[in-house]
Structure 1
Amino acid sequence: MEYVQIKSIEDPLFAKLHKTMQEVFPPEEVLEYSLWEEPLKDPTIRVFLAVHEDEVVGVTEYRYNKELNVAMTDFTIITKEGLGVGPFLAKKRHEDLMNLAEEHDLDLIGMFAEIYDPYRAADHSFGGIKVMDPFVRREVLSHLGYQRLDFPYVHPAWTNEGEAVKELDLCFLPYKENIHSLKASFVRDFITTYYGVLSNKPPEWQSMIDNLNKQTDILLKPL
């Protein structure tokens, strides 16, 4: 299996990648095709495919924030079972991040990820791909070591129409020992930077940010 980076929307594999995203994720989670042009040029944003016998069987996007010394898994898609695509992507993603950390003098403290709460988001079929089921995905993140940040989380829809995307938890995978909570200001700074590209924020988003401003620490809880 090959780990193949996508750096341009002109790459023939990008069209297939974007179509796969549209088939798997709800519309509010998918950035419009042409708007990928600039993010793919950003060296801190990493988009890779798992290619098996010339077939795309998995996708992952992730990034790092040098100022905050933290990473984020944007999404992972597995389209074919029985090949070990999930472990392959997790291993390659971690290796790539550790290489980048060494190259850019980063001391990454951990990685954020968003995950649907299957008890609130049971209607998401994720294109009928069984391994993308919300219950399965949540258990996978738990096994990888992710924990849930204990606060009500929403994010602005990637359609930039001002819709609040709910039914999600923001999670964190510590790379350091004895991390049981994160500073609320740190969480706030990360998500405001992460969603800074979207100009149309819903009222629920601003309310969440206001609440984070009033808190000191956010506990990490089991998924």
Structure 2
Amino acid sequence: MEYRRITSISDPLFKQMHQLMQKVFPPEEVLEFDLWKEPLEDPGIRVFVALHNGEVVGTTEYRYYEDFNVAMTDFTIIGQPGLSIGPFLAKKRTADLEELATQQGKKLYGTFAEIYDPYRVKQNEFGGVKPMDPFVRREVLSHMGFKRIDIDYVHPSWKNDGEAVTGLDLCFLPSDDSLDCLEADLVVKFLRRYYAVLSNKPKAWMEMIEKIQKQDCIALQPL
């Protein structure tokens, strides 16, 4: 299996990748094809696909914030079972992020991720691909060491229509697994940076940010 970076919407592999996203994710979670042009050309956004016999069978997007020394896993998509695509992508991503932090003379502080809570939202089937089942994905992140940031989380829809998306948790994988509290200021700065591309923020999101700002440290809870 190959780990190949995508940096342009004109790359034929990107068309395969976008079709895979549309097959697996709900519509509000998929950025339109043409809107991918700038993100793919951004050196800070890293989009890779897993290639098996020339076919895109998985993909992951993530980024490393040098000034925060944290990463964000935007998504990980497994297109079919039985190929160990998940472990392949996770290992390759981790090695890449650790190398990026090392280049800054640092050890990666941790990684953010959003994860659906299937105990609250039961209608997401994710294209019928069983490894993408929300219960499976949540358990996998738990095994990896991700912890739930103890806030009532909403995020702006990627349609940029001002709607708030619920039913997810914001999580964090600390490099130090004994960490049980995350600086509220870091969470606020990260979320503002991450969603800066969306101009139409929902009121619920802004109220959540204001609430976080009133705290010093936010507990990290088990998933």
Q: Structure 1-normalised TM-score?
A: 0.97
Structure-2 separation of matches of 1:138 and 1:191:
21
Query: What residue in structure 2 maps to residue 178 of structure 1?
Result: 178
Count of residue pairs brought into register by the alignment: 223
Contact 1:69 1:109 in 2 (8 A): yes
The Cα of 1:102 is off from its aligned counterpart by 2.0
One-letter identity of the residue aligned with 1:149: I
Q: Is contact 2:145-2:177 (8 Å) kept?
A: no
Distance 1:16 1:55 in 2: 8
Point out where structure 1 has 5 or more consecutive residues left out of the alignment: none
Cα distance in structure 2, aligned partners of 1:15 and 1:55: 11
| Residue pair 1:149, 1:170 contacting (<8 A) in 2 also | yes
Q: Distance in 1 between matches of 2:55 and 2:19?
A: 14
Instruction: Measure the CA separation in 1 of the matches of 2:30 and 2:61.
Output: 12
Superposition misfits of 4+ residues, deviation over 6 angstroms: none
Separation in 2, partners of 1:140, 1:177: 16
Equivalence for 1:216: 216
Indicate conservation of the 8 Å contact 2:180/2:220, yes or no: yes
Q: Is the 8 A contact 2:98 2:107 kept in 1?
A: no
Residue of structure 1 in register with 2:61 after alignment: 61
Amino acid at match of 2:4: V
Q: CA offsets, 1:68-124, max 9 Å, x none?
A: 110000000001111111111100000111122222434320000000000112100
Secondary structure in structure 2 of the residue aligned to 1:61: strand
TM-score after normalising by structure 2: 0.97
Deviation sequence 1:171-205 (CA, Å, 0-9, x none): 00001253111111110110111001100001110
**Structure 2 unaligned spans of 5+:** none
Whole-Å Cα distance in 2 between the matches of residues 30 and 56 of structure 1?
17
Instruction: Output the CA distance in 2 between the equivalents of 1:99 and 1:70.
Output: 13
- Kindly report which structure 2 residues correspond to 1:1-223, keeping only aligned pairs within 5 A, or say none: 1-223=1-223
SS of equivalent residue, structure 1 residue 38: helix
Amino acid at match of 1:6: I
Q: Following TM superposition, by how much is the alpha carbon of 1:55 offset from its aligned partner in structure 2, in angstroms?
A: 1.7
Cα RMSD (Å): 1.0
